[in-house]
Structure 1
Amino acid sequence: MIEQAKEYAHAGFHIIPMCPADHAGMSARHIEVCRSPGKRPLIRNWQNAGVPSDAEIERWFKKWPQANIGMSLGQRQGLVAIDLDGEFGRQKLEELSEGELPDTWQFSTPGGGMRYIFAAPKDCIVKKYSISDPNPDATHSEFLLLGENSCTVLPPSKHRNGGYYEWIRPPQFIRMA
């Protein structure tokens, strides 16, 4: 995981360490307050973090050897993400894009969802926006736009269900196994 984190940083991503999906090595306090295992940033002021050095990444993984990799989003990074879960999320993206989605970075989430990452204009602030399935019986079915003060987990991070996030259309710099 540490080598992948370094590759992301070398490519200019504002990456951040995220808690392990199983909370391995985390404090009792963290476990008590964390509502998103595997997805919670482990450093303060992560929204303003820049591109970390190799030494900083090595410190993170020495302190949290099982950490996931995340990335801050928004104007500073110049990236936003769309997170889709369930059929409702997919249908909402189809409706909003009118079926015309530009080619972009894309990865699958272990819960059956998809994440798309897009470049955002540097002078544009994109706020977080979500639409959930109005069906009360629907389980985690939504369309989520992640922008300012948001972050995303990145492959090959581990999900709390035991699966892994996997690139479908990776940034060009990523070496696929």
Structure 2
Amino acid sequence: MPNHPDHSTARSDAQVAVSGPAALDSLAAALSYRSLDWSVFPIRYGEKRPRVRWKGLQECLPDRNQVGDWFGCWPEDGIAVALGPLSGLLAIDVDGQEAHAELCNRLGTLPVTPAVKSGNPDPHRYHLFFKHPANLETRAKATPWHDQLEFRGHGGYIVLPPSVHKSGQRYAWLPGRSLEDVPLATLPDAIDEALKQEAHRRRPLAAACRLRVSRGVGFRIRLLHGISNDTRTFLSGRYADGPLWNQKLFRAACDLAGCGYDSNHATELLLAGARPWNSEEEQRALATIQSAFSQPRQPARSTALDPPSNRPVTSWEHGRITINEIGPAIQSRPEDGPRCERNSR
């Protein structure tokens, strides 16, 4: 586990800087946020797309020199902060009048905590910032109360002032709700409880990726020898944060399709390897997988274990297979286990 900074010791002069005259200077603002021990990084001007690879910034703060280099190179870029325990932040993204009404109805009144007005002209689109709860595992987005009321934590990021919205307007701290005006509030009990219930209902990633196989439910999983080493690496999740993510997903999906994997079960494995962090990425990944399985494919290449002339098939009749078990399962010869049977291709 990384050593998270003590956010209670953040400098008060940094708080003044991000809401004072320097607030329209992205470099000055970014350095001020960094002085609060926030893990900040640049996003493209007028967009929400990260300029740099940012997922590692959930575990390690960029140093001030790195932040200075980024915004010195791209001075007009916007600023985003990685949410979660490292930055000590959880944000609520209120996206419209219905979401605003739901939040007020649940809490009785809006909490007194720093708040940012989105660049969108709708007055009911804003962000609230809270201290990240110490003993609660959060995720990029949770919507237990309303689809447009997002509780954002670890795995996500949010835009900060003075970034420019696609409308051309700037994100800005609301009057009386800047970091200079009010401290970060503790997460309200009602939201804390909602997130705990959400976490309790949500299966861990490993469980979500586990395939239960039995004749009793009328299906079997066939693990085929012969998938490429690149596909095996993709399924392990090692490519999830790297470049060309979608292309590697497509190649892995084509390989599994060519090896005869059932599309439904292959989709579970591929999504676990891709690790999409939000619904938009998940939909993109599903479309890529569907495209790969939409027509006949050939395996990427054979492994040393499997001569291409006689590629064996392993049928697991019972038990479970998890992502961490894929490698050993594939490397085991079919005759090694009593639950395996040799089939002809």
Q: TM-score band, normalised by the shorter chain?
A: 0.7 to 0.9
Q: What letter is aligned with 1:5? A: A
Residues 47 and 149, structure 1, Cα contact 8 Å, conserved in 2: no
Correspondence for 2:31? 6
Where do 1:21-100 residues align within 5 Å? 21=46, 38-44=47-53, 45-48=55-58, 50-97=60-107, 99-100=108-109
- Structure with the higher helix share, 1 or 2: 2
- The Cα offsets for residues 22-59 of structure 1, whole Å up to 9 and x where unpaired, read as xxxxxxxxxxxxxxxx2122222244254333311121
Q: How many residues align?
A: 148
Change in 2 beyond 3 A, CA 1:120/1:47: same
Match for residue 172 of structure 1?
Answer: 180
Aligned with 2:155 (options 114, 128, 149): 149
1:129 aligned onto 2:119: no
Letter in 1 for 2:156: S
Q: CA 1:122–1:7 in structure 2 vs 1: closer, same or farther (change >3 Å)?
A: same
Residue 102 (str. 1) matches residue 108 (str. 2): no
Is the contact made by 2:59 and 2:86 (CA closer than 8 Å) also made in structure 1?
A: no
Kindly indicate whether the alpha-carbon contact (under 8 Å) linking 2:38 and 2:86 is maintained by their aligned counterparts in 1.
no
Query: 2:49, 2:181 → 1: CA distance?
Result: 26
1:136 is aligned to none
TM-score with structure 2 setting the length:
0.40
CA distance in 1, matches of 2:62, 2:161: 18
Tell me the amino acid that sits aligned with residue 119 of structure 1: K
Partners of 2:164 and 2:170 within 8 A in 1: yes
The Cα offsets for residues 49-101 of structure 1, whole Å up to 9 and x where unpaired, read as: 5433331112112332321011011123221111112111101111222x144
Q: Which runs of 5+ in 2 are unaligned?
A: 1-25, 183-345
Secondary structure of the corresponding residue to residue 88 of structure 1: helix
1:114-156 CA distances to partner (integer Å, 9 max, x unpaired)? 1100012222112321333xxxxxxxxx211111201000011
Question: What is the alpha-carbon distance in structure 2 between the residues aligned to residue 20 and residue 109 of structure 1?
Answer: 15
The 3-state SS of whatever aligns with 1:114 is strand
Structure-1 residue corresponding to 2:165: 159
Rg comparison, structure with higher value? 2
- Which structure exhibits the higher relative contact order, with contacts defined as CA atoms closer than 8 Å and separated by 6 or more residues? 1
Distance in 2, Cα, partners of 1:13 & 1:144: 20
* 8 Å contact from structure 2 (residues 40, 82) kept in 1: yes
TM-score (norm 1): 0.75
- Tell me, in whole angstroms, the C-alpha distance in 2 between the residues paired with 1:48 and 1:143: 23
1:118 and 2:154 correspond: no
Give the Cα separation in 1 of the matches to 2:132 and 2:39: 15
- Separation in 2, partners of 1:13, 1:108: 19
Structure in which a larger fraction of residues adopt strand: 1
